[in-house]
Amino acid sequence: MCGICGILGLEGRPADPILLKGMVSQLRHRGPDGRGMHRDGALGLGHARLSIIDVAGGYQPMSNRDGSLWITFNGEIFNYVELREELETRGHRFATKSDTEVILHLYQEHGKDCVQAMNGQWALAIWDRRERTLFLSRDRLGIRPLFYTTADETLLFASEIKALLAHPAVTPQLDLIGLDQIFTFWCMLPPRTAFRGIQELPPGHSMTVRNGAIKLERYWRLAYDGEPDAARSEESYAEELRDLLLDATRIRLRADVPVGAYLSGGIDSAVIASMARECVGGRLKTFSVAFADPEHDESPYQQEAAEWLQTEHHSVLCANADIALEFPEMIRHTETPILRTAPAPLFRLSRLVREQGYKVVLTGEGADEFLGGYDIFKEAKIRRFCATFPESRRRPLLLKRLYPYLSGLQSQSPAYLQAFFRMRPGDVNSPFFSHLPRWELTAQLKMFFSRDVREELSSYNALAEFAASLPSSYGSWHPFHQAQYLEATCLLPGYILSSQGDRAAMAHSVEGRFPFLDHRVVEFTTRVPPHLKMKALKEKYLLKKAAGERIPPAVRDRPKQPYRAPDAASFFPPGGETQPEYLQEVLSPGRIRQDGIFDAGGVEKLLEKARRGRTIGVKDNQAVVGILSAQLWMHHFMRGVNHADDYSRGHGQGIAPVRR
Amino acid sequence: MPTITAGDMAKELRQFVVDNFLFGRDRPFSDEDSLIENGLIDSTGVLELIAFLEEKYAIRIEQAEMIPDNLDSIHNLSDFVRGKRQAPA
Give the per-residue pLDDT at A649.
Answer: 36
pLDDT, tens only, B17-76? 999 999 988 778 999 999 988 888 887 888 889 999 999 999 999 888 988 899 999 999
The residue ranking higher by pLDDT, A616 or A455, is A455
The mean pLDDT value for A70-80 works out to 97
Give the per-residue pLDDT at A642.
Answer: 46
Cα–Cα distances in angstroms (integers) from residue A210 to residues A11, A43, A45, A130, B75, in the given order: 11, 12, 16, 12, 67
Domain boundaries, chain B: 6-86
The mean pLDDT value for A635-643 works out to 76
The residue ranking higher by pLDDT, A537 or B26, is A537
Q: How far apart are CA A533 and CA A478, in angstroms?
A: 13
By C-alpha distance, which of A147, A268, A126, A134 is closest to A203?
A147
The interface predicted TM-score of the complex, written ipTM, equals 0.86
Share of chain A above pLDDT 70, in %: 95
Give the per-residue pLDDT at A388.
Answer: 79
pLDDT, tens only, A345-404? 999 999 999 999 999 999 999 999 999 999 999 989 988 888 877 777 777 777 777 776
Q: What CATH architecture is B6-86?
A: Orthogonal Bundle (1.10)
Q: State the DSSP H helix or E strand holding residue A3, giving kind and residue range, or none if neither.
A: strand A3-9
Q: How many contacts, defined by CB atoms under 8 Å, are there between A and B?
A: 71
Give the per-residue pLDDT at A654.
Answer: 57
State the CB neighbour count (10 A cutoff) for residue A552: 20
pLDDT for residue A449 is more than 80: yes
Give the per-residue pLDDT at A643.
Answer: 39
Of A416, A440, A602, the CB nearest to B23: A602
Q: Give the pLDDT band (50/70/90) at residue A646.
A: very low
Decide which of 3.40.50.10490, 3.40.50.300, 3.40.50.2300, 3.60.20.10 is the CATH code for A3-218. Answer: 3.60.20.10
Of A415, A419, A606, the CB nearest to B23: A606
pLDDT, tens only, A202-234? 999 999 999 999 999 999 999 999 888 889 999
The mean pLDDT value for A253-268 works out to 94
Tell me which chain B residues have a C-beta less than 8 angstroms from the C-beta of A619.
Answer: 42, 44-45
Q: Give the pLDDT band (50/70/90) at residue B3.
A: confident
Tell me which chain A residues have a C-beta less than 8 angstroms from the C-beta of B80.
Answer: none
Give the per-residue pLDDT at A168.
Answer: 93
pLDDT, tens only, A569-583? 999 987 766 788 999
Angle (nearest 5°) at CA A374 between A371 and A377:
90
One-letter amino acid for residue B67 of the chain: I
Give the per-residue pLDDT at B89.
Answer: 52
Cα–Cα distances in angstroms (integers) from residue A334 to residues A161, A292, A343, A501, A539, in the given order: 10, 24, 9, 10, 30
Q: How far apart are the first and last CA of chain B?
A: 11
Q: Is B62 touching A (CB cutoff 8 A)? A: no
Cross-strand pairs, A215: A208
Of A415, A420, A605, the CB nearest to B43: A420
Of A444, A601, A620, the CB nearest to B24: A601
State the CB neighbour count (10 A cutoff) for residue A255: 17
Contact A416 B43 (CB under 8 A): yes
Give the per-residue pLDDT at A401.
Answer: 74
Tell me which chain B residues have a C-beta less than 8 angstroms from the C-beta of A413.
Answer: 63-64, 66-67
Contact B36 A616 (CB under 8 A): no
Give the per-residue pLDDT at A405.
Answer: 67
Mean pLDDT estimate for chain A: 92
By C-alpha distance, which of A398, A364, A329 is closest to A252?
A364
Tell me which chain B residues have a C-beta less than 8 angstroms from the C-beta of A447.
Answer: 22-23, 25, 27
Give the per-residue pLDDT at A579.
Answer: 82
The residue ranking higher by pLDDT, A391 or A109, is A109
Q: Which of B17, B18, B23 is most worth mutating to test chain A (most A CB atoms within 10 A of its CB)?
A: B23
Q: Is B27 touching A (CB cutoff 8 A)? A: yes
Domain boundaries, chain A: 3-218, 222-440+455-564, 568-656
How close does chain A come to B45, measured CA to CA in Å? 7
Instruction: Give the predicted TM-score (pTM) of the model.
Output: 0.94
Asked whether A331 and A487 are in contact (CB, 8 A), the reply is: no
A162 half-sphere exposure, CB direction, 13 A CA radius? 27
How close does chain A come to B57, measured CA to CA in Å? 19
Residue of B nearest to A599 (CA): B25
Domain A222-440+455-564 classification at class level: alpha beta
The residue ranking higher by pLDDT, B87 or A336, is A336
Residue of A nearest to B65 (CA): A413
